[in-house]
Structure 1
């Protein structure tokens, strides 16, 4: 008798281990600050701000999240410095076991001559043993119906995604993915944009202190007929600090260092250097970049 299969990752999380290794904890684009607090009534407040190195403009948002675990309800409200109001209502495991339904809306009152720029997306996520499926209906745009499904067995994963324009009656986009997940490594292949662009990613936990990964992308629109390759690694110095490094085939080297200064306080530093332009003067950070990020949580 075969054992129950675990729930596979969702479509957007295929290749997540490699993606996180190569993209997260590199705050070299500017200065960022994030503050999180939680009340006894399970309301979480988050204030986040970021200033890019090439500008003096600070962008940010204020978020309030209410979690009612007893009724499987989560409500998130966000107000950005661009005067965009976002709302997300999630209901989990109430209609049926393994089913999550949510409604995400946004409104920019000051845009389009005062008429506002609005969006509303209704989504449903269903998870069971060996099966993970999502469906999204963009009510105001199209309307467009998007669905993706990932099935998994014994570590092997197979996924498919498609978008359908209801008004025009045609498929706008489709993609395929395949992969294999093991406790210490993962391999993922994607065929995107109607099977016109491709990517392959690899993640390996070499030891409890060292991780390594790589990603290759072929996209005729972005890579000029060639393949963009990026490799990276992460090393834990101790329980409170780690360093990351990555380099791509364009010669851009990025370094990141993250330190937990105390419980609830984390600082990250990042730098990106174009090794092919080391002798160039770079007063505004267009070639070489440096930045930092602080996260406070209580």
Structure 2
């Protein structure tokens, strides 16, 4: 890369971040100032704002590491199903057993697949039983106990079995969450690999760390960091994976009808920067439209309509903007039935 290219790249990044600061920082500062004002009022007039101060003092449990930046991820993923025709059916028996059946076919390859999942909860004992079978003939079972040994503590055993190959696997999962902290530790017996993660939260700020350690090789195989901020209708998330992959996302609920999201990703040692913008607009209580575009000129559009209570239709299309006239575009159709 010569000097001119380097200067050009730095200039592009500078313009991008200036636009970001001008657009989102005012909202961020507004929320920070508001929180500071509440803290000052709490010292002198605690009784006047006691309901809200209680919420501020007792911050909600932070999300799990995998759910950091989830609001932006949902804007990019939900309401789309490119190249797939899918049917989902959800039912619930009188004794509380939930049945989730899903079937789909790929319009490009013609491959079809499906799954059947059952869920049963014994609330008095804090016990949950999930079983799932798919057309690849894989059986999975998860048994979990929550809030029994200690408030906020969850223990689970997740197993899988493939009859055709007699392959078996198991994973012991533990999680603990309370105000300001959410931690988890999973042991994969197949490795054996230990997966752990922790998220700390305070007044909207979120700090997360995720790692995986291969005990057989005594090697750290995953090392991820994340930092975010959440304030009502605004969320900011950044992450670094293994010191090589950098990413960030911004989510903002502009109004009751409009939600927007921006993602940015970059890998060290590569000049390929991924950038995307997405939005979702609620037409009315039963219909919404979604759209997204990335720097590869891939344009996605989606339409979701609730035909009647328990019946939802989703239509989506993916358009290749660089090869608009040559074809290769994808469409998707989805039905969700719930009874």
| TM-score > 0.5 by shorter chain | yes
Corresponding residue for residue 196 of structure 1: 244
* Separation (CA, whole Å) in 2 of partners of 1:152 and 1:110: 45
* Separation (CA, whole Å) in 2 of partners of 1:20 and 1:80: 25
Alignment pair present for 1:183 and 2:237: no
Corresponding residue for residue 42 of structure 1: 96
Q: How does 1:154-173 map to 2 (within 5 A)?
A: 154-173=203-222
* Separation (CA, whole Å) in 1 of partners of 2:307 and 2:316: 16
Corresponding residue for residue 283 of structure 2: 237
Match of 1:71, SS state, is coil
Structure 1 residue 225 displacement after superposition:
2.4
Corresponding residue for residue 174 of structure 2: 124
* Separation (CA, whole Å) in 2 of partners of 1:206 and 1:49: 35
Q: How does 1:51-200 map to 2 (within 5 A)?
A: 51-111=105-165, 116-140=166-190, 142-192=191-241, 194-200=242-248
Corresponding residue for residue 15 of structure 1: 69
Q: C-alpha offsets along residues 46-100 of structure 1, whole Å, 9 cap, x if unaligned?
A: 1101101112221110111111111111111111100000111111111110011
List structure 1 segments (4+ residues) > 4 angstroms apart after TM superposition.
none
The higher-RCO structure (CA 8 Å, 6+ apart) is 1
Structure (1 or 2) with the larger CA radius of gyration: 2
* Separation (CA, whole Å) in 1 of partners of 2:189 and 2:273: 37
* Separation (CA, whole Å) in 2 of partners of 1:152 and 1:235: 30
Q: C-alpha offsets along residues 149-173 of structure 1, whole Å, 9 cap, x if unaligned?
A: 0000000010001111112222111
Higher relative helix content: 2
Alignment pair present for 1:216 and 2:264: yes
TM-score (norm 1): 0.93
* Separation (CA, whole Å) in 2 of partners of 1:253 and 1:220: 26
- Asked whether the 8 Å contact 1:220–1:226 carries over to 2, the reply is no
**Matched residues, number:** 285
Match of 2:117, SS state, is strand
TM-score (norm 2): 0.82
Match of 1:276, SS state, is helix
Gaps of 5+ in 2: 1-42, 44-55
Corresponding residue for residue 46 of structure 2: none
Match of 2:57, SS state, is coil
Corresponding residue for residue 252 of structure 1: 298
Higher relative strand content: 1
- Asked whether the 8 Å contact 1:268–1:292 carries over to 2, the reply is yes
Structure 1 residue 220 displacement after superposition:
5.0
- After superposition, the CA RMSD in angstroms is 1.2
